């Protein structure tokens, strides 16, 4: 922990020394920095640099709140219109939508511990050829991973709360914008989506999230995050079909610097209103039971359309699963 | 220490399709390690049951074997909302519907695979991936 903090401090100092330091005043008056193709590399670097000027996520959040003069109250009669059904615009499962396969595993600047975790995943995937995703049994993805998940999303704005909902695992992030502070530290504990507070500045929603559980930004080679990860987000509907969010992840265990990314979601054209967000339950269909193998990869358990899975499968894990099922529960 | 780290990462990412949207849709909920994505199997049969469920749907197809027996194959796709965006409704594949279906087979020999594409008896294509940013494919 101390080592990670030292690395973060050194990175901040080095950043300032080499002139990559952008004064907060430079982005002080921004309402939103557009993602123009021709200038996005520079703009992204500027937003990354903004995050690096603050030692903690709360310092960045408080800076943004001060710049917004503590934010504005939403008029119940004129709420931001975030209606509709949305899905992630680009990036696949990559936390950084700009990351290309040729760029390597991540655009984050990792600590030694963070890099070791990624190296371990490289080893697992190259040697074993597969992995087990912890959400295979409908465990919540958690935040920040929530951001990368595909499928349908709905965003509900009310004067006092905004709900960011994903069809996947019936997952709802509640953002309290009524001026309340975070839960008291002594009464808080790590949870899947943590504790989120925020404020509106016109039609921009700024969010601070803490008290999160450890996890991974996504499966594959993407980094892990610790239960010290905290997130600052600025959400903005940039046009009728697009909502974007600047995100800065702070994690002294895995990240040597705050990790800036811009996320986006596209509204799905649904003039006949046929789409529905349906409940997710991995137990609803026997054929969706995914087990973790002894090697740490993934396998289906028994199918309901195969008479004797253990007899026809070449996988000892399937045979073992079938054997376990045959044993009485008290043995 | 793993040698040629960046090269290894790149190859692994490319092999996994780790940043492709197509892969996102193909197996966004669990690893696809159980399927052999280097192989495809194609078979003709009749729909036994369309399990239109979250988080994954399963199309069960009865396939007649050369000896006259019947084997039920299961083909996995994403859940109902993704299938709907691909233009595949539950009512499109009622029991008894003739179908030719292609999938990546299971590595362990069981009669299952991931659904890649299919053609219904009347010629309608049944590709389980969304074809645009629409709730239903545009005609």
Complex ipTM, two decimals? 0.85
Chain A with chain B: Cβ pairs closer than 8 A = 179
pLDDT at A82 over 90: yes
Strand duo A171-176 + A195-201: pairing: parallel
CB proximity B61 to A under 8 Å:
no
> How far does the CA of residue A125 sit from the closest CA of chain B (Å)?
7
Cross-chain residue pair B82–A151, CB shorter than 8 Å: yes
Res. B120: pLDDT tops 90: yes
Residue A3 in this model has a pLDDT that exceeds 50: no
Q: For residues A146 and A165, what is the distance between their CA atoms, to the nearest angstrom?
A: 10
Cβ <8 Å between B110 and A99: no
Q: Which residues pair with A242 in a beta bridge?
A: A239, A266
CB nearest to B109's CB, from A269, A285, A312 = A312
Chain B residue with minimal CA distance to A124?
A: B12
Q: What is the per-residue pLDDT across B37-92, written as a single tens digit (0 to 9) for each?
A: 999 999 999 999 999 999 999 999 999 999 999 999 999 999 999 999 999 999 99
- What's the pLDDT at A124? 85
Task: Please name the residues between 105 and 134 in chain B that touch chain A, using a CB distance below 8 Å.
Answer: 106-112, 133-134
For residue B16, give both structure tokens. Answer: 């996994």
The pLDDT of A272-284, averaged and rounded, is 92
Give the model's pLDDT for residue B107.
95
In whole angstroms, what is the distance from residue A318 CA to residue A301 CA? 6
Q: What is the pLDDT of residue A128?
A: 83
Q: What is the pLDDT of residue B62?
A: 98
Q: Beta strand A290-292 with A298-300: parallel, antiparallel or unpaired?
A: antiparallel
What kind and span of H or E run contains A118?
A: helix A112-128
**pTM given for the model:** 0.86
């Amino acid at each position: 922990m101390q080592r990670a903090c030292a690395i973060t401090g050194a990175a901040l100092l080095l950043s300032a020394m080499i002139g990559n330091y952008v004064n907060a005043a430079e982005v002080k008056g921004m309402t939103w920095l557009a993602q123009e193709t021709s200038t996005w590399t520079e703009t992204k670097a500027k937003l990354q640099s903004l995050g690096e000027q603050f030692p903690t996520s709360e310092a960045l959040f408080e800076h943004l709140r001060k710049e917004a003069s503590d934010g504005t109250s939403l008029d119940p009669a004129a709420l931001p219109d975030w209606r509709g059904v949305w899905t992630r615009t680009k990036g696949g499962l990559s936390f950084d939508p700009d990351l290309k396969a040729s760029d390597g595993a991540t655009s984050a600047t990792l600590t030694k511990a963070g890099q070791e975790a990624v190296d371990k995943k490289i080893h697992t995937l190259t040697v074993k050829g597969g992995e087990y995703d912890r959400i295979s049994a409908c465990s919540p993805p958690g935040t920040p991973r929530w951001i990368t998940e595909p499928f349908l999303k709905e965003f509900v704005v009310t004067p006092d709360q905004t709900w960011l909902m994903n069809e996947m695992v019936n997952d709802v992030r509640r953002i309290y914008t009524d001026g309340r502070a975070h839960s008291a530290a002594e009464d808080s504990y790590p949870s899947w989506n943590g504790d989120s507070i925020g404020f509106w500045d016109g039609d921009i929603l700024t969010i601070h999230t803490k008290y999160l559980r450890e996890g991974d930004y996504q499966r594959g080679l993407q980094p892990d995050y610790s239960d010290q990860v905290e997130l600052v987000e600025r959400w903005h509907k940039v046009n009728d079909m697009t909502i974007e969010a600047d995100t800065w992840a702070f994690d002294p265990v895995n990240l040597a610097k705050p990790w800036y990314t811009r996320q986006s979601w596209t509204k799905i054209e649904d003039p006949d209103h046929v789409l529905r967000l349906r409940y997710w339950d991995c137990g609803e269909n026997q054929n969706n039971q995914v087990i973790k193998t002894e090697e740490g990869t993934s396998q289906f358990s028994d199918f309901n359309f195969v008479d004797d899975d253990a007899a026809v499968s070449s996988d000892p894990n399937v045979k073992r699963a079938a054997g376990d099922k045959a044993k009485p529960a008290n043995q | 220490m793993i040698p040629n780290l960046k090269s290894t990462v790149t190859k692994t990412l490319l092999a996994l399709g780790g940043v492709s949207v197509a892969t996102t849709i193909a197996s966004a909920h669990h690893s696809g390690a159980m399927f052999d994505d280097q192989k495809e199997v194609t078979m003709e049969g009749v729909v036994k049951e369309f399990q239109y469920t979250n988080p994954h749907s399963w199309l069960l197809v009865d396939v007649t074997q050369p000896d006259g027996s019947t084997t039920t194959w299961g083909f996995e796709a994403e859940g109902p909302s993704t299938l709907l965006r691909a233009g595949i409704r539950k009512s499109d594949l009622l029991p008894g519907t003739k179908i030719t279906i292609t999938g990546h087979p299971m590595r362990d020999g069981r009669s299952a695979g991931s659904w890649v594409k299919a053609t219904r008896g009347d010629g309608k294509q049944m590709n389980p991936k969304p074809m645009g940013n629409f709730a239903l494919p545009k005609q």
